[in-house]
Amino acid sequence: MGPRREQLIFVRDFLRERAAIRVGAHLRRDPLARLHLEEGRRDPYPLYEDVRSRGPLVRSTIGAWTSVDHHVCNEILRSRSFGATGEDADHLAGSPQLSFLEMNPPDHTRLRRFALPTFSPKSVAAFAPSIQQVVDDLLDKTVGDEPFDLVGSLAAPMPIGVITRLLGVGDADADEFAHYGATFGSALGGLQSIKHAGELMRAQQALRRIFENAFEARRRDPGDDVISRLVSTEGSSVRPEEMVPLCTLLLIAGFETTVNLISNTILALLTHPDAWRRVAADPTLVEAAIEETLRWDPPVQRTARFALADATIAGHQVKKGEIVVTLLAGANRDPAVFAEPARFDLDRPNKSEHLAFSSGIHYCVGAPLARLEAIIAVRSLIARYPGLRVAGPVVRRQGSLIRGLTNFPVSRSFVAVPAG
């Protein structure tokens, strides 16, 4: 298919989808459709409760099944009858290509196996001093008495610094890399407009150029990073045309998610002052705060699966080719699994049963890295500013797939330490 025809099909599908969402949301009050509008961006949690009140698996007017039931979501994510892509799923111009995140076995297994060693708990632990260095350098810049933006000063640049080093993209390209990566990441929850699709295509081309330069550089001068491993095994486990999408997946997954885990955790703590005080007095509670944030307000709110065969789920017939949207953040508030699910509770015994990192064969490869980055960032921030306060209105990011902030003004009011 030529690029012009691809673009026309994209525009047609985009307009059709927007129309279906508006009709579903306004005329039919469909919670899945409403999730795509302002309401879902601001506060999706009442919409998840609406879905829950309709049953464990619900047919949406916008053509998909949906669920907030923990058991049902987990079953679908772990089932071999469902896949991350369907037989007829096709990539349209402008939609991000995210390598094995969107593949089924055997390609998924082959590419995931390539990525795993870099992100094993052992490899990640060895990276802790580097992460601490990135965090300390960023916090050193937050001097003075003026309020600062927690996202721009720490939560966003920190994971970018870490993933750039892990991938092996040279410092010279790092700023451009961050800029195009953010444009690309902004499209994860769906394109906002046709202009947005154009920006995305340009970002995709720019990232390809940066990665291809990095492949060249690492062929000449290999290091201890993902791109060096990629070029040294070229053609064996990863095909040449798979290299750019694989790097793009690691880049986007690496910096569009952890940024939100850090800011969502700090926001949860600052809006629950008792929890903040407890964590400030006892830094070993940072891990509990991060885990409870992953349950209570997770960065990735939903994912979807295609039925690869007819299946019976919660008494409903799901036909081959149909899509099920698993609302992970809704499942994390299932009262059958979590007592008083709407409460942010550091002492919750089973908080790690959340589905924030999904479940089954696509379970997040970067979970150990994300947890470690968040622990180091949150612990260092609280140690430096135990009297941190929200200093103005927060701004939420676009879309409702990824939940987080784009602006988070904070001020570091100093706590006087009593003498003696």
Q: Quick one: 332 or 380, whose CB is closer to ligand HEM?
A: 332
For residue 257, state whether it binds ligand HEM (rule: CB under 6 A). Answer: yes
For residue 160, state whether it binds ligand HEM (rule: CB under 6 A). Answer: no
| Interface pick for ligand HEM out of 60, 66, 186, 358 (rule CB under 6 A) | 358
Tokens for 255, please give them: 């910096």
Using CB under 6 A, which residues numbered 274 to 333 contact ligand HEM? 298-300, 303
- By CB under 6 A, the count of residues binding ligand HEM is 26
For residue 370, state whether it binds ligand HEM (rule: CB under 6 A). Answer: yes
For residue 247, state whether it binds ligand HEM (rule: CB under 6 A). Answer: no
For residue 112, state whether it binds ligand HEM (rule: CB under 6 A). Answer: yes
The CA-CA-CA angle for residues 317, 320, 308, to 5°, reads 120
Least gap, CB of 261 to ligand HEM (angstroms) = 4
Least gap, CB of 258 to ligand HEM (angstroms) = 5
Contact region for ligand HEM (CB under 6 A) — 45-53, 56-64, 309-317, 353-361? 353-361
Least gap, CB of 354 to ligand HEM (angstroms) = 10
Q: Between the CA of residue 285 and those of 49, 197, 272, 292, what are the distances in Å?
A: 29, 42, 14, 11
Contact region for ligand HEM (CB under 6 A) — 17-25, 38-46, 247-255, 314-322? 247-255
For residue 228, state whether it binds ligand HEM (rule: CB under 6 A). Answer: no
Contact 164, 174 (CB under 8 A): yes
Q: Which residues sit opposite 306 in a β-bridge?
A: 83, 323
For residue 248, state whether it binds ligand HEM (rule: CB under 6 A). Answer: no
Q: Quick one: 60 or 359, whose CB is closer to ligand HEM?
A: 359
| Interface pick for ligand HEM out of 25, 289, 356, 381 (rule CB under 6 A) | 356
Residue with the two structure tokens 């369907």: 86
| Interface pick for ligand HEM out of 364, 386, 390, 396 (rule CB under 6 A) | 364
Q: Which residues sit opposite 317 in a β-bridge?
A: 312
Q: Which residues bind ligand HEM (CB under 6 A)?
A: 84, 100-101, 112, 115, 163, 249-250, 253-254, 257-258, 261, 298-300, 303, 356-358, 362, 364-366, 369-370
